[in-house]
């Protein structure tokens, strides 16, 4: 296995509410590899976006407290380096695109001048050279007649075009890592397909690592090599995309899949996960999913759940069903 | 053969574009441009299309929330556009609507019980407050919420629960038709499944029909009996779900369906 370009180890992000401190990201670890895509999947409020913000150190502080753990990039821990060095890395080596391109672009500047800023700041280009680089970036993301679009304001572009501008901006410095936080959630399916195709194509050409944050299993199927499933601030399952889709091990992951409308089995009612996601202040003891889990056992209700490996390499889950005891085996086989 | 409750013939809705100091009309936006369809009792008609294709405007026009520029609408065989105000009042009970953002469509200063019961009192379906609260309790059970919550306010519920309350408010009127405008689009996938199941159960229980608008093709595929595919204010294709999704005829529909992300990483499309 090649060395990862970014390695996140035991990342913890505390959030202060009044006098209480809750971990909104709770001991999450994963590795990013060049040319590969890792997807973080989960429902709203599970901490997937905060994981990304913690890596880039752009958390709202307060209410968040400085994250703990390790984010290793080129041998240094990004969580402990000075702000000035972090500013260099942010945007240049690690870039990010957001869900709503309309609010991520500045409405009072033309897209050209916003892109020029990146060229001047990170690439030390000026004048015509910078303009040329910007036009080239716009061409790469497939914007028609970039010389004219250069002078457009964000409101003159459609949502899909704005997202392309965001991608152009993020990729202009040829970063090692692209963090994409729900990049296509606000877009129509046809535009979503174009943007996903573009991201995949650019990844092939430039060989960067993508950290893709999404709630849509379809987008995961299209894009991901590896998947981390998050629930209530924890990473509850991790594995190769094939393993997650074929041999999902955690009951929550199974629930997510069963909730999706399946075109081959129509008219069958969907199998939603019962109950609701507990709020941050009321996470249950033991396994955080046990109150909603159909396979709950007495041992699930107390203490920390250890991480169990499953037969495929790199496939792990936080679930007692895989501890190998007779009780768990029985429950596991009863499910199918 | 089920009874036809809604029939729409060639409706158009043009919005004027005005300019200059006299607000002279210089053109128009053809939001809905000659749409015809019919809806039977107990049927779910899905409307799909990209944003801006006129699906919401169509829905609002056919229930006269917006007056159409031209066209004919028949409700239970009667001409809806000729209805006087008392007939419209009755029509407003028979047709209800559910919106995308449940929190925005509930009054934050009214308890959810009051929100559900308001229409009952207004339309005279109940005599007094006491009857209203009895009916609210009944509805809360139907939509899968504890009746104890009736005195609580919208912000105290989760998004999925708020959407249930909006559904409760709609079914309180004992409607024949519910227009669902992106009703599950803002919800997480596990909650979305719960709401879709609730809508299906209520349809069977109360004999409802739905006009179900969504941009999410897999949701429409799941819940609908028939589908309208819209583009640029026009109906591109119409047919049963199986016809449209299995063998789309028009190139626009084919393009739309090809853009759905695959359901499994190993499944290679094309």
Query: CB distance from A263 to chain B under 8 Å?
Result: yes
The separation between CA A111 and the C-alpha centre of its own chain, rounded to angstroms, equals 26
pLDDT tens column, A219-252 = 999 999 999 999 999 999 999 998 888 888 899 9
What does the block give as tokens for B209? Answer: 């029909």
Pick among B146, B182, B193, B220 to test the A interface (most A CBs inside 10 A): B193
pTM: 0.85
Each domain of chain B, given as residue ranges in start order, spans 4-258
- pLDDT at residue number B269: 44
CB contact under 8 A, A272 and B255: no
CB contact under 8 A, A263 and B191: no
Q: What distance in Å separates the CA atoms of residue A252 and residue A235, rounded to the nearest whole number?
A: 11
pLDDT above 80 for A172? yes
- pLDDT at residue number B270: 37
- pLDDT at residue number B177: 94
pLDDT above 90 for A61? no
pLDDT above 60 for A336? no
Q: What distance in Å separates the CA atoms of residue B236 and residue B250, rounded to the nearest whole number?
A: 7
Q: What distance in Å separates the CA atoms of residue B133 and residue B116, rounded to the nearest whole number?
A: 9
**A126 to chain B nearest CA, in Å?**
40
> What mean pLDDT comes out for the span A110-119?
91
Provide the 8-state DSSP code for A90: B
**A17 to chain B nearest CA, in Å?**
18
Contact of A76 with A241, CB cutoff 8 Å: no
Instruction: Write the DSSP string, A10-22.
Output: EEEEEEEETTEEE
Query: CB distance from A47 to chain B under 8 Å?
Result: no
CB contact under 8 A, B197 and A270: yes
Q: What distance in Å separates the CA atoms of residue B97 and residue B104, rounded to the nearest whole number?
A: 14
The closest CB to that of B190, out of A266, A269, A272, belongs to A272
CB contact under 8 A, B262 and A221: yes
Measured between beta carbons, the chain A residues lying within 8 angstroms of B189 are: 43, 215-217, 256, 259-260
- pLDDT at residue number A92: 86
- Report angle CA A298, A300, A302 to the nearest 5 degrees: 90
CB contact under 8 A, B258 and A193: yes
- pLDDT at residue number B68: 92
The percentage of chain A sitting over the pLDDT mark of 90, rounded to a whole number, equals 25
Burial of A145 (0-12, 13-18, 19+ CB in 10 A): exposed
CB contact under 8 A, B261 and A258: no
Provide the 8-state DSSP code for A64: B
Tell me the pLDDT of chain A averaged across its residues: 87
Taking CA–CA distances from B196, the nearest residue in chain A reads: A270
**B3 to chain A nearest CA, in Å?**
22
The closest CB to that of A221, out of B197, B255, B263, belongs to B263
- pLDDT at residue number B1: 57
**A304 to chain B nearest CA, in Å?**
25
> What mean pLDDT comes out for the span A204-228?
91
The closest CB to that of A218, out of B50, B158, B260, belongs to B260
Measured between beta carbons, the chain B residues lying within 8 angstroms of A258 are: 193
Contact of A160 with A166, CB cutoff 8 Å: no
Tens of pLDDT along chain B (270 residues) come to 578 899 999 999 999 988 888 888 888 888 999 999 999 999 999 999 888 888 889 999 999 999 999 999 999 989 999 999 999 999 999 999 999 889 999 999 999 999 999 999 999 888 889 999 999 999 999 998 988 889 999 999 888 899 999 999 999 999 999 999 988 888 888 888 999 999 999 999 999 999 999 988 889 999 999 999 999 899 999 999 999 988 999 999 999 888 888 878 765 543
Q: What distance in Å separates the CA atoms of residue B236 and residue A115, rounded to the nearest whole number?
A: 39
Q: How far apart are the first and last CA of chain B?
A: 38
CATH fold, domain B4-258, is Rossmann fold (3.40.50)
pLDDT above 90 for A186? no
Burial readout A55-65 (b: 16 or more C-beta within 10 A, e: otherwise) = bbbebeeeebb
Measured between beta carbons, the chain B residues lying within 8 angstroms of A276 are: 158, 160-161, 191
Which residues lie closer than 8 Å to A267 by C-beta, 6 or more apart? none
Local confidence band at A265 (pLDDT 50, 70, 90 cut-offs): low
> What mean pLDDT comes out for the span A154-161?
87
pLDDT tens column, A11-27 = 999 988 888 888 889 88
Of A99-103, A317-321, B30-34, B116-120, the one with minimum mean pLDDT is A99-103
CB contact under 8 A, A43 and B188: yes
pLDDT above 90 for A305? no
Q: What strand order describes the sheet that includes A6-17?
A: A20-32, A6-17, A68-73, A76-77
Each domain of chain A, given as residue ranges in start order, spans 101-172, 253-335
CB contact under 8 A, A263 and B266: no
CB contact under 8 A, B190 and A256: yes
Query: What ipTM goes with this model?
Result: 0.80
């Amino acid at each position: 296995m090649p060395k990862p370009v970014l390695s996140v180890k035991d990342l913890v992000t505390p959030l202060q509410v009044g006098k209480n401190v809750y971990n909104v990201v709770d001991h999450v670890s994963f590795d990013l590899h060049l040319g590969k895509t890792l997807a973080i999947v989960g429902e709203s409020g599970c901490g997937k976006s905060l994981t990304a913000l913690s890596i880039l150190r752009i958390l709202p502080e307060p209410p968040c407290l400085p994250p703990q753990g390790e984010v290793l990039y080129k041998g240094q821990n990004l969580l402990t380096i000075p702000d000035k060095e972090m500013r260099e890395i942010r945007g240049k080596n690690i870039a990010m695109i957001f869900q709503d391109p309309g609010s991520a672009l500045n409405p009072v500047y033309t897209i050209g001048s916003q892109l020029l800023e990146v060229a001047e700041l990170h690439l030390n280009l000026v004048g015509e050279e910078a303009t040329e680089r910007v036009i080239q970036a716009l061409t790469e993301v497939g914007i028609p007649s970039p010389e004219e679009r250069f002078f457009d304001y964000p409101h003159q572009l459609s949502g899909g075009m704005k997202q392309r501008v965001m991608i152009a901006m993020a990729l202009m410095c040829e970063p090692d890592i692209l963090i994409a936080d729900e990049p296509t959630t606000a877009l129509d399916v046809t535009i979503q397909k174009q943007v996903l195709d573009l991201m995949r194509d650019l990844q092939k050409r430039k060989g960067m690592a993508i950290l893709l944050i999404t709630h849509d299993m379809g987008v995961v199927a299209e894009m991901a090599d590896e998947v981390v499933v998050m629930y209530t601030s924890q990473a509850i399952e991790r594995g190769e995309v094939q393993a997650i889709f074929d041999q999902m091990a955690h009951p929550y992951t199974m629930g997510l899949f069963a909730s999706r409308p399946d075109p081959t089995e129509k008219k069958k009612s969907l199998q939603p996960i019962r109950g609701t996601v507990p709020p941050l202040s009321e996470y249950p003891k033991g396994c955080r999913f046990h109150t909603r889990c159909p396979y709950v056992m007495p041992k699930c209700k107390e203490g920390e759940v250890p991480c169990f490996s499953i037969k495929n390499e790199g496939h792990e889950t936080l679930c007692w069903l895989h501890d190998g005891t007779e009780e768990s085996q029985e429950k596991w086989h009863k499910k199918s | 053969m089920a009874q036809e409750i809604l029939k729409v013939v060639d409706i158009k809705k043009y919005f004027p574009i005005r300019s200059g100091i006299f607000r002279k009309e210089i053109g128009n936006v053809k939001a809905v441009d000659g749409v015809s369809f019919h809806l039977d009792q107990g049927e779910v008609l899905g409307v799909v299309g990209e944003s801006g294709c006129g699906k919401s405007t169509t829905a609002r026009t056919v229930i006269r929330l917006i007056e159409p520029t031209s066209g004919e609408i028949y409700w239970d065989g009667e001409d809806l556009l000729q209805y006087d105000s008392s007939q419209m009042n009755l029509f407003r009970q028979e047709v209800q609507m559910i919106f995308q953002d449940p929190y925005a469509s509930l009054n934050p200063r009214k308890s959810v019980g009051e929100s559900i019961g308001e229409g009952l009192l207004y339309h005279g379906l109940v005599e007094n407050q006491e009857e209203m609260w009895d009916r609210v309790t009944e509805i809360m059970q139907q939509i899968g919420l504890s009746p104890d919550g009736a005195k609580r306010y919208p912000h105290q519920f989760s998004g999925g629960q708020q959407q249930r309350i909006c559904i409760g408010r709609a079914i309180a009127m004992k409607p024949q038709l519910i227009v669902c405008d992106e009703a599950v689009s803002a919800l997480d996938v596990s909650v979305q499944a719960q709401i879709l199941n609730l809508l299906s159960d209520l349809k069977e229980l109360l004999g409802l029909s739905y006009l179900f608008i969504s941009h999410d093709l897999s949701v429409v595929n799941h819940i609908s009996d028939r589908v309208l595919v819209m583009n640029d204010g026009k109906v591109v294709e119409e047919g049963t779900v199986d016809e449209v999704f299995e063998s789309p005829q028009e190139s626009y529909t084919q393009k739309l369906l090809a853009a759905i992300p695959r359901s499994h990483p190993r499944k290679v499309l094309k």
